[in-house]
Amino acid sequence: MEIIIKPSVVEAQLETAKILRRQIQRKPASVLGLATGSTPIGVYAALVEMHQRGELDFSKASTFNLDEYVGLDPKHPCSYREFMREHLFGKVNLSPANIHFPDGLAKDVPAHCAEYEAAILRAGGIDLQLLGIGREGHIGFNEPSSSLASRTRIKTLTRQTLQDNAKCFGSPDKVPHHVITMGVGTIMDTRHCLMFATGEAKAEAVARMAEGAITADLPASILQMHPVCTLVVDEAAAADLKRTDYYRWVYDNKPDWQRV
């Protein structure tokens, strides 16, 4: 795993956006896996700016989001689809036909999840998957105890996640308890995982993910087994990492052709 520690949240956001920019510039028809949550908002803002400066053309790209709440209309202000419209889809030239989302209103959830997996395969697989991490180590909404081989399916959120996601809904008990999420196995099949985490609340999960044991108790730890995984963090989220001197050394000595 490549671990990039940036001095500030803004610099970490920019680095993450540059990695996404490089992906799209190298392969305009990239298939992107996207995450929601408070952490990537600044990354999406940076991508929108790059697009407005003419550096980024999304017209050939396609996207698959990680997850959606079960029971929420896509137009609900707290749906993840609405989040993406507000922060990215409504501001760049992605073709609506190329945007894919789990359907929180699907009548037959298992059939819909199987179809989501099939759609990813039909698109050629995900080139670059943007990820965030939950305080208890989830990726997507693969909460602790999730099968490390899981595919897209329904999951029940932990009490911690309900609390963390309560802001839009007003209180934790108003947050839908179920989501459809790409599985850990689905995420592991993507060609490049790009995890972005900031703030001290994520420090413990980040350290366990990168340096701890691989365990379903912290699903993100499976990323140690991913052949191409980049972790971008600010200093606060890096606070519990042990080998920071080495990570900084690697970054400072990165060959020019690997830089974004």
Site residues, ligand F6R (CB under 6 A): 35-39, 66-67, 132-134, 138-140
Spatial neighbors of 15 by CB under 8 A, at least 6 apart, are: 4, 6, 232, 260
- The minimum distance between CB 46 and ligand F6R, in angstroms, equals 15
20 in Cβ contact with 194 (< 8 Å): yes
Q: Please state whether 68 falls in left (phi above 0), alpha (psi between -120 and 50) or beta.
A: beta
Q: Which is nearer to ligand F6R, 33 or 212 (CB)?
A: 33
Q: Which is nearer to ligand F6R, 36 or 230 (CB)?
A: 36
Q: Which is nearer to ligand F6R, 56 or 205 (CB)?
A: 205
234: β partners: 6
- The residue sitting closest to ligand F6R, measured at its beta carbon, is 132
Cα 226 to Cα 55, 93, 211: the distances in Å are 29, 31, 14
Alpha helices for 123-197 (secondary structure H)? 159-164, 184-188
Cα 6 to Cα 67, 114, 232, 240, 248: the distances in Å are 28, 38, 7, 15, 9
- The minimum distance between CB 120 and ligand F6R, in angstroms, equals 15
Cα 110 to Cα 183: distance, rounded to the nearest angstrom = 13
- The minimum distance between CB 196 and ligand F6R, in angstroms, equals 8
Q: Which is nearer to ligand F6R, 57 or 217 (CB)?
A: 217
- The minimum distance between CB 134 and ligand F6R, in angstroms, equals 4
- The minimum distance between CB 214 and ligand F6R, in angstroms, equals 18
Q: Which is nearer to ligand F6R, 148 or 252 (CB)?
A: 148
Q: Which is nearer to ligand F6R, 104 or 140 (CB)?
A: 140
Give me the amino acid identity at 176. P
DSSP 187: H
- The minimum distance between CB 9 and ligand F6R, in angstroms, equals 12
DSSP 93: -
